[in-house]
Chains A and B, each alone.
Chain A
């Protein structure tokens, strides 16, 4: 337990370590090489982050290979990875996958699936509608059908079904449907899928969502890479044609797990937005100091200086709400729905505005392919859309702060 905004010396050191690692292992030439490669990241670098540095599971419990440090430390790492645009399945494996698995009641599933993600040996993706700012059960597009069948000898818990303890009849599921915009979905070893159990004819629309695991090599699974604006972030459309799946969480647990995942993802993505925005501020200030026009540094002109000052304000405020979110979720000091929506509404706007301002400070060079500004600009607009737009989160805040407070 630590007081909000009092980063520990370990966290300060952690930031230094990850920044140094990113500078050495993922300089911008490497980011550009990887963004043009089929996979989109270097699995060797990713597993070094997991095993050598041990920074992919800082908020996961120690018994599953994590560090049990909490979200603030994980946010520090993600901020630094975002600053350098380090390529890897950060969203699928860490921000979504490890978070969802860590929230499961099913300890066997956690023990089986989480360590690989934490160590960077395996990767995951989450196929669930989080783009409206929170988990939206009504937007689930996959249905799960249950099948009763007798247990076969030697069957253990595996992605194609759940074995009951006495080894008698088991319930297996198959999934049907298609999910777009699945982050890191094309290359993931493990797909976590939100599906409506029993199909569309169920009465209970909220409670009937389950969370399922699907193996990458499952029959009937079709994954199509989608071309993305942000080349450093991969997406896929994932289709399920009667794909065997293992139930990880039934209703109502699954909805709660996914709601928690959405809140945690909102806060951790905010940390990435802070790191990337800070990099753009640093880059812009350096340019404004050294670029000469009219015989003087352009940063000496108030029009440019004030742009930089406004960027500083945006970055500092974004940092405050992002880390407030991390501390609040760790320690229960704020309504997690409010902390998460606050983080995303402030940080999405801050990063997109800072990215646009950074291009402006740089002028023509900032619009060229060779300059890094466009990589961050694309990341900014992509980040802002992933887990709910600033407007979607403000609508949630309006409900929580104005409507509920004002209700009789």
Chain B
């Protein structure tokens, strides 16, 4: 975050001055007591958590101060400037999605047990949502959870699970009643990734890397205490997670010239031998689009002084994903024949070529651009939904393939 941005956010609004003051004092207090440069990441983030600065809108004792979410920026600005490691990058699914989901739906005991190690990164998190047969149509998923005494037994296959091989815990959406219409037969759980029956296999992607995994669940036992929300309410709980996912992916750019546009600007700066008038105008256009994207993100951040992100957050994800692809298309075109080389598919270096290939997934992961346009159309603009063939039908009667 640039200093200007931080100042602007710190300056936003005057009615919350007292609360802002206490957030800022708490943040300075953490930095006064412990030096992030010489402290292990988990220990430093633990101090932030204990000071209520993990999610300021969470209750006291659970990583928060019970203050409006908009004040998080005031804490982040001071802590980041003081050298705090980025807790989101440290445990993206945990901090970005599991934290808000646990806050909204888990009981006190579960939150007390899980939130702190989640924030410190001592326990990594993964998300068991997508399946080979349920991508955009997530609510059509097949993984079954069957009641068994004081718990549940889960069988199924999940896919596109990032960090599953490192995760201690995962968010799981499973079908508990196949006779109900698809959205109503789902229930939300958290799973111990070390439980018997959980098998993680790397999933190799077009770049040659395996950032993601397939997860096979075979007779996995989950105690009922690890259910979030009521039986059959899984879809509503999942919405909390997904809105935070889209927001997290869509709101990452900050300073002018930062983010993926930096790759194109850097290539332009470093390789005058590859300049041409046509590429110059194309890069300017991309820079302009990157600015419109960045400033819209800033506007959304200022607007979100309180409350969870709404469907508007989908604008950022949609635009950012398509922009990334255009930026790396530009880099490939500028590189010319050099761009046709690829150092290694076994262990690829972080080259522009690899980033170009990786960007193809940006318009698919976290909601395809087509689904996001539906979200904008139906939730923001309130346009009518499409005619559906699965409405009201029991899940087991819906064609799959």
Contact = CB atoms under 8 A, between A and B. Distances in A.
Nearest to B380: A312
B295 A321 contact: yes
Contacts, number: 123
Interface string A308-327: 11101100111111011000
Interface in B87-141: none
Interface residues of A, number: 41
Contact of B383 (A308, A321, A323, A397): A308
Nearest to A394: B284
B374 A305 contact: yes
A149 interface: no
Interface residues of B, number: 44
Contacts of B9: 3
B291 interface: yes
Interface stretch (B214-222, B348-356, B384-392): B384-392
Interface stretch (B17-25, B172-180, B296-304): B296-304
Interface in B227-277: 265, 268-269, 272
Given A285-B382, A289-B384, A302-B370, A3 B284 contact: no
B146 interface: no
A6 B12 contact: yes
B318 interface: yes
Nearest to B257: A401
B315 interface: yes
Contacts of A309: 318, 372-374, 376-377, 381
A140 interface: no
Interface centre among A3, A285, A297, A342, by most chain B C-beta atoms within 10 angstroms, is A3
B8 A313 contact: no
B281 interface: yes
A76 to B, nearest CB: 15
Contacts of B374: 302, 305-306, 309
Given A305-B373, A305-B377, A397 B296 contact: no
A397 B257 CA distance: 13
Contact of B8 (A3, A299, A345, A394): A3
B125 to A, nearest CB: 31
Q: Mostly helix, strand, loop or mixed at chain B's interface?
A: helix
Nearest to B5: A4
A150 interface: no
B288 A313 contact: no
A315 to B, nearest CB: 10
A398 interface: yes
Contacts of B373: 302, 305-306, 309-310
B206 interface: no
A5 B295 CA distance: 9
Nearest to A401: B287
A296 B372 CA distance: 22
Contacts of A138: none
A5 B376 CA distance: 22
B288 A346 contact: yes
Given A317-B296, A346-B292, A398-B280, A285 B381 contact: yes
Contacts of B296: 316-317, 320
B376 A313 contact: yes
A398 B268 contact: no
B147 to A, nearest CB: 38
A320 B302 contact: no
Interface string A91-128: 00000000000000000000000000000000000000
B299 A320 contact: yes
Nearest to A295: B387
B381 A308 contact: yes
Contact of A312 (B11, B315, B384): B315
Nearest to A294: B387
A282 B8 CA distance: 31
B382 A342 contact: no
A406 B268 contact: yes
Given A300-B386, A342-B288, A397-B287, A4 B376 contact: no
6 shortest A-B CB distances, which residue pairs? A305-B377, A299-B383, A309-B376, A309-B373, A317-B292, A320-B295
23 contacts: A2-B11, A5-B298, A289-B384, A297-B384, A299-B377, A300-B385, A300-B386, A300-B387, A305-B386, A309-B374, A312-B376, A313-B318, A319-B299, A320-B296, A321-B292, A324-B295, A342-B288, A345-B288, A395-B284, A397-B284, A397-B288, A398-B284, A402-B284
Given A6-B302, A312-B381, A317-B295, 9 more contacts: A3-B8, A5-B299, A296-B384, A308-B381, A309-B373, A312-B376, A321-B291, A398-B280, A405-B269
